[in-house]
Structures are given as C-alpha cells and as structure tokens.
Structure 1
Amino acid sequence: MKIIDVKAYGLHHPVENPFKWRKGLPGSGEIREQGILRIITDEGIEGVAVTQRAGMTVDYVTRCFKQLLIGKNPLLKEKIWHEIWEMDRLEEFQIMFMGLVDMALWDITAKKAGMPLYHLLGGNSDRVQAYASTVTYDTTEQFLTIADYCIDRGYKAIKLHAWGDARKDAKLCQNLRKHVGNDIKLMYDGSAGFNLHDAIYLGKALEEADYYWYEEPMRESSIWNYKKLCDELSIPVLAAETSDGCHYNAADFIVNGACDMIRTGTLLKGGITGSMRIAHLADSFNMKAEIHGGDQANVHLACGISNCSFFEVLVFGTDPVDFGYPVEPDGFITAPQEPGIGYIFDWNEIEKKAVYKV
C-alpha cells in the first residue's frame, strides 16, 4: 500500500449559538474553523482527520506533510509519527497538528482491517458514559437551570467552566452541589485561570462539595506548581491537557506526583499513537486517563481503553444543545460501527466550500 496524494481543506462554518468562556478567554465567535486532512492511497482507501484550524491545516500540509507522505506506506504509522516528531524540533507545530497525520493513518489502518477503530485499539467497550461540559454562563441561576436540563437528558455527571474568580467559582460549585444532591458526579475545569494560591483555595472548596475531579486550574508549564497543588489537596487533580510534549511530558507529570489523573485525547496529544501511549502509561500507574471532548476519533479512543471514566460533551447556548455526538437516553454514547473512524464527507461539496485548499 502506498500514499499517492494528500489533500487538505480549510472551512469556515457560521456559528448559530455563539458561547463564551471565562474572562480572558475568547468564546466561539461567529465563525467556527475546520481543517480536514485527506490521505489517498493506491488501493482506493482514504484516511481522514479533522482539526479546529482552517488556514493552518492547509499551510502545514503544503509545507511539511504532503512532501513527507507521498510514496510512503500508510501502515507504517510509528515510523511516520517519529518523523513528524523530528520535524517539530524546528517547526514547533501548533499542538493540534502533532497528531493530525497520525489520525488519518489510523483511519486507513482500521479500514484496511475492516473494523471500527476502537476494536483495533483494544476494544474495551462499544459505549462510553458522557458528561455534560458547560460553557460559561452569566449567573448562578443559569448554571443551575442548565444542570437541570442535563440531568433530564440522562447525564449522570456535569463539569463546570465558570468565571475564573476563585471565590465566586467556589460559591457556585458549592451551590451546584446543594442543587443537584449527592448522586450526580460534579467536576470543575479552571481553564488555566489561577495562580497557585487561588488554585489551592478553590480546590479546598471543591473538596468540601465532594467534586469528582479538579481540572487544569493553572497553566501547565510549571510541573512544580502542580506538585504543590496535589500535595495540598485530596481531590483528584486532572492535568496535562494542553502541555506540549505528548507522552514524554505526561510522564513527567505522573512520576513527579503533579497529577492524580492525566488528560489524553487525539486532538492535543499526538493523535491516536500519542494518546494511546499516555493511556497505557497511566494504566501502568493504576491511574485514569480521561479523554478530552471531540468527535468520532476521541469516542473510539474512549471505547478502546479501560482506564477512562467519561467522554466530554459540550453543552451550550440559551437553548442548550449538545455539541458533537448524540447522547442516548441513559447518558451514554455509542462508537461508530463502520470500518475506520467514521468521518463522512461529500468531497465535491468540500471542494466548493473550502476557503483554503491544497
């Protein structure tokens, strides 16, 4: 099998229900970017991968990936992963692009094998439990209303993205616990908005409210700060979502006691290859590897491993809608069953609508 062509498309999609994050972070805006990579082989099998950057996708494919891939055997994923890792030394790829090619190559591999990707990754289950991940609302009352909606939809767990004020957020988190009772698992994501002092203060409030995990309260450039945080708290700290370095960096978080759970996911952790390395590394320490939200690729990843508890589904808007996968009445998501990852595109339409392409 040989790669004979590589295409890339950058698209802009209007956002019908823009949403926002904490103070200091941009929200969704009026346009959602989408980058699509398409790898074509001489056997007629195509591999597809999707990311959140339009122009960057076409730029990296044009300058770096196309020349690297043409003529290669797409089943030699390990070799190609390390060649891209070498390129990163000078390119310093934006974090979403370390694994973009890898995802498309795994799509080809699973199609060649005639099985859904999660079977190829180990096949722990064909379903994963979803949790509702909120955007940032203006008032406590809005958060409580959204929580009621999520519980009515079948979710058994809810994660807050709140305002980025340690004292206000602590009060909100405790009010939410009182509102939903003790049977719903609650999580909190700080979106890297705090210093160590405020992160400890908020973490202790989450402990009092019996939250299931405390995610990324600080920037992840300082492992020392995360080690101090973990030493101060009993609530599990979930970290290394946006840190560079894939599994190499995740290993430093784990062995230094700078997290109690580790983040992994295809978009930010080196595709399927990098994500699986992190999941297996965590498993060797009897640690959870929680999957970041996303599309079909991350659903397959969550169903392929045994040490993931939940799959993140973003819930947003005044009239809240689920972003991504349909959640079933019992709060679970079923992995796609067709061979490969399960992306379906009309390439003629994509060719017409692409803002950028190669």
Structure 2
Amino acid sequence: MISNIKNIRIHCFDYPRDRVIGDSQITSTNVWIGALQIFDTNGLSGLGFFQSLTAPLPSANVIKSILESTCLDGILGQSPEALIHKISRPRGGNIQHLPYHLDQAIDQALWDLTAKRVNLPLFKLLGGDQGKVKAYGSGVCFHLSDQEVTNFYTSALQHNFSGYKVKVGHSELAWDIKRLQLVSEIIGKDKLLMIDANEAWSPKEAIFKIRAYEKAGLDIFWIEDPILRHDIAGLQEVKAGLKDTYLNAGEYLPLSGKKALVDNNAADILNIHGDFSAALKIGWLCAEKGIPIALGNTPMEMGAHIASALPETVYTEHSMLNWDYIIDKPFAVKDGYILLPDDSGHGLTLSEQAIKELKPSCA
C-alpha cells in the first residue's frame, strides 16, 4: 500500500549564537531557527530547516497557520516522490513567497523523506557518488574585533580548509585592507582568500576596491556579491574589470534570477543554496555552459549533498555556526572536506536533549 504524507510538526528555537555574525549590512546575535518535520503514514519523517537572521521567529503555531493558509492542503495526502518533481504554474494571486525560507524547509524535508523511503543517502538519490565535498571556512565576522577574528580563523585552521572567506564592505577602505591582511597572515599564502561584500558597492567601486586590495599585496580568489543582485549590466562590468579575481554571484536570487546570470554570462561562479529542487535545475544549466558552482551556507551544511551531486561545484561554505546544537550528529569535517553520512536521507536528526534544554515552541 502506498504511504502518503500524513502530518507535519514544527519546532521554533531561540538561543544565543556562540559569536556575533554579520556582514556589511546586518548583524545577528541569536540563533532563530525552526525545524519542519513531514511524516508519512508509515511513521517515516523528513526534516527541513527555516530561519530568521535579524528578528525572532513567531511561535510554531503561527508558522503552522502560515502553512495551513498557503500550501499545506497541497502536501497532505500526497507522496513526497510526486511533490519533489512537481512543476507549478505561478500566475497572479498564486505567487506567494513563504517567509523565513519555509519553502526551502519543505523542499529539504520532502527530499529527506523520499531518500529514506528508498533507503538511500540523499546525495546518492540526487545522483552524487562522492561521500565528501570540498569546503572553505567562512567567518561571517564583519562585526568582530581583530582579536576575535584572530581567534576564530586560528581555530578554523584545525579543519585544514584550502580556502577561507572574509566579509568586507566597510566605508573605510583601510579597514577592509587591514582585516584582509590580518586573516591572510593567519591562514598563510598557501590558502585561498575569498571576500564577500554583500552588495555594498557600485560596479566602479567594486573594481576600484579589488585593485586596491591587489596593490596592498592581497591575492583574492573570488569576490562574492559586490553589487546589487539584479544589476546584470553592472555584474558584467565588474566581471570584465577583474583581472585575476573571480566574480561569485547569485546568492540572493531565485531560480529565475540565477538563470539570468547564466544566460547573460554575468558571473564566473554561480552561488546556490539549500533548495534541492532548484539546485538540480540550475546545476543542469551550469553544466551545459561549464559555469562553476559554489554552495553557500545551508542549515547544518546539508547543502553538501547537493555539492556531491553537481559536478560543477568547486566549493561548499562552512561557517562553523552553533546551530548544530539542535541536531544529534553534525557532519564531520576532515582535511578540508565535509564528510557525508551513509545513512538514508540527509542524515540529520533533531536532538531530543536540545529540545529538552531549549524548550522550543512546538506545533
């Protein structure tokens, strides 16, 4: 007998971060993360995550009400295998953007549940055959002091990442240069240095800043999101103006926006995130044109499953965030690689101990 989706469960967590994270635009002091579980009639479950960076999540009851009023009717009673392949027709009033990345949480949970139902690790269900993926260390450290930055990157060296990323975009060029020189000295010249401006600049300013970094003796592997996400012409200008630095873009864009970057040759490396279904689609386009892919931050590094499945992926971001506290067993990191578990599904389970201690709202 076919087992379909029976119900969902929501947990909303709120606890302090182990360090202040942020970029040139935002600051985040707390982990506001939610877990969404989808259960089938046989008792198997899939797990996905949603979050808020700058303000607390509403209660689990409110989140569940949002889902009930928007999409839950289209999920209950269905098979996850059908839902992960379903093509929707967005028109008029049915274009509803779910808050807090709830759409990604649903997608993650459906893929996790589907992989469990066929008893495969998720990366294998997605078509991957590598049980480890290359990662880079990311500090998300714009608001930390020099000493705090020194402590973080010194500690991150234990993972032996081959590259490390630093947030830039300060109003004072000298501040950026000092921060980059500090991290470069810590990681050494044998490691790649990436930077992320989070749309802080104009196209001409971005080119000027990169050239200033180069004059200061800094070798930058890639610059991520230097200008506004939708500025195709501006991104093309930046890309053409860079000499030895790659342009990484697409983090903030939906699938259609990422496709526009590919179609217009407006990025050297395309940045994607934790929506498995969208990643497979954009991965096909990148493979067709030979455009490298970078996996940005995903909850608990579950995007490593996507990285294994997409041959164009060059790096997966690992920010060493303490959101891992709410799961039983984080993915291991060894010699610069994220190791994928051989369990069915994505291999992440909620920690009952964390639920007991943090007492999240549940629905």
Query: Under TM normalisation by the shorter chain, which class is it?
Result: 0.7 to 0.9
Partner of 2:37, secondary structure, is: strand
In structure 1, the partner of 2:231 is 222
1:196 aligned to 2:203?
yes
In structure 2, the partner of 1:130 is 135
In structure 1, the partner of 2:189 is 182
In structure 1, the partner of 2:16 is 15
Which of 275, 278, 286 is equivalent to 1:274? 278
The one-letter code sitting in structure 1 at the alignment partner of 2:304 is: V
In structure 2, the partner of 1:212 is 221
Which of 248, 251, 259 is equivalent to 2:267? 259
Contact map agreement 1:296 1:341 (CA 8 A) in 2: no
Query: What aligned pairs does 1:305-324 form with structure 2 within 5 A after superposition?
Result: 305-315=310-320
1:144 is displaced (CA, Å) by 4.4
The one-letter code sitting in structure 2 at the alignment partner of 1:342 is: G
1:110 is displaced (CA, Å) by 0.8
Q: Deviations over 1:175-205 (max 9, x none)?
A: 5445544310110011222222321222224
In structure 2, the partner of 1:41 is 40
1:327 is displaced (CA, Å) by 4.8
Question: What stretches of structure 1 of length at least 5 have no aligned partner?
Answer: none
Partner of 2:12, secondary structure, is: strand
The one-letter code sitting in structure 2 at the alignment partner of 1:126 is: G
1:61 aligned to 2:62?
no
Contact map agreement 1:214 1:238 (CA 8 A) in 2: yes
Contact map agreement 2:301 2:318 (CA 8 A) in 1: no
In the alignment, the residues of structure 2 paired with residue 343 and residue 241 of structure 1 have an alpha-carbon distance, to the nearest angstrom, of 24
Aligned-residue sequence identity (percent) comes to 19
Q: Deviations over 1:6-30 (max 9, x none)?
A: 3231422311524032354122x2x
Q: Deviations over 1:220-262 (max 9, x none)?
A: 132222122112113111101011x31x221111221211100
The one-letter code sitting in structure 1 at the alignment partner of 2:34 is: G
In structure 1, the partner of 2:339 is 334
With 332-341 and 299-308 compared, the bigger mean Cα shift is at: 299-308
1:297 is displaced (CA, Å) by 2.6
- Cα-Cα RMSD: 3.1
In structure 2, the partner of 1:111 is 116
Partner of 2:95, secondary structure, is: helix
The 3 A distance-change label for structure 1 pair 355 and 123 is same
In the alignment, the residues of structure 2 paired with residue 301 and residue 316 of structure 1 have an alpha-carbon distance, to the nearest angstrom, of 19
Contact map agreement 1:230 1:257 (CA 8 A) in 2: no
In structure 2, the partner of 1:286 is 290
The 3 A distance-change label for structure 1 pair 47 and 150 is closer
In the alignment, the residues of structure 1 paired with residue 288 and residue 10 of structure 2 have an alpha-carbon distance, to the nearest angstrom, of 39
The one-letter code sitting in structure 1 at the alignment partner of 2:222 is: W
In the alignment, the residues of structure 2 paired with residue 223 and residue 139 of structure 1 have an alpha-carbon distance, to the nearest angstrom, of 35
Aligned length: 344
With 95-104 and 107-116 compared, the bigger mean Cα shift is at: 95-104
Partner of 2:285, secondary structure, is: helix
Q: TM-score, normalised by structure 2?
A: 0.83
The 3 A distance-change label for structure 1 pair 79 and 277 is closer
The 3 A distance-change label for structure 1 pair 306 and 63 is same
The structure 1 segments of at least 4 consecutive aligned residues displaced by more than 4 Å after TM superposition are 85-89, 137-142, 323-327, 346-352
In structure 1, the partner of 2:98 is 93
The 3 A distance-change label for structure 1 pair 156 and 87 is farther
The 3 A distance-change label for structure 1 pair 98 and 88 is farther
The one-letter code sitting in structure 2 at the alignment partner of 1:73 is: S
In the alignment, the residues of structure 2 paired with residue 100 and residue 86 of structure 1 have an alpha-carbon distance, to the nearest angstrom, of 23
The one-letter code sitting in structure 2 at the alignment partner of 1:45 is: L
The 3 A distance-change label for structure 1 pair 8 and 34 is farther
In the alignment, the residues of structure 2 paired with residue 92 and residue 77 of structure 1 have an alpha-carbon distance, to the nearest angstrom, of 18
1:347 is displaced (CA, Å) by 7.2
Partner of 1:52, secondary structure, is: strand
Contact map agreement 1:164 1:194 (CA 8 A) in 2: no
The 3 A distance-change label for structure 1 pair 95 and 231 is farther
In structure 2, the partner of 1:147 is 153
